[in-house]
């Protein structure tokens, strides 16, 4: 059994903007720090993993979002790396 750490960013008008899972706790923590920094510093949330995952959420939308994190236990067969983690492990 492994843990998957999940972040969900949801806006009242636009719906779910991001629902991403991480299998690496350190990468999850770094991503959360980036999101928190964007909120605190009133910056847009911008992230690109270099291949296939791009996020751009303007601060004016980000500040109105509900951001929820949790972790889920999954079996080894269910574990799939997130698009963010996939680049780091290649």
Using the predicted structure, report yes or no on whether residue 85 has a pLDDT greater than 80. Answer: no
d(C-alpha 82, C-alpha 4), whole Å: 10
Q: What percent of the chain has pLDDT over 90?
A: 64
| Cβ 34 vs Cβ 22: under 8 Å | no
Question: What pLDDT was estimated at residue 2?
Answer: 81
Using the predicted structure, report yes or no on whether residue 60 has a pLDDT greater than 70. Answer: yes
Using the predicted structure, report yes or no on whether residue 87 has a pLDDT greater than 80. Answer: no
Burial profile 16-37: b = 16 or more Cβ within 10 angstroms, e = fewer = ebbebbbbbeebbeebeeebee
Q: Give this prediction's pTM.
A: 0.78
| Cβ 42 vs Cβ 59: under 8 Å | yes
DSSP letter assigned to residue 78: G
Using the predicted structure, report yes or no on whether residue 90 has a pLDDT greater than 70. Answer: no
């Amino acid at each position: 059994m492994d843990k998957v750490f999940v972040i969900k960013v949801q806006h009242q008008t636009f719906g779910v903007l991001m629902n991403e899972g991480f299998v690496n706790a350190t990468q999850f923590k770094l991503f959360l720090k980036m999101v928190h920094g964007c909120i605190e510093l009133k910056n847009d949330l911008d992230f690109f993993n270099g291949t296939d995952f791009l996020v751009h959420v303007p601060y004016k939308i980000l500040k109105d979002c509900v951001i929820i994190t949790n972790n889920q236990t999954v079996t080894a067969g269910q574990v799939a790396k997130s698009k963010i983690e996939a680049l780091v492990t290649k």
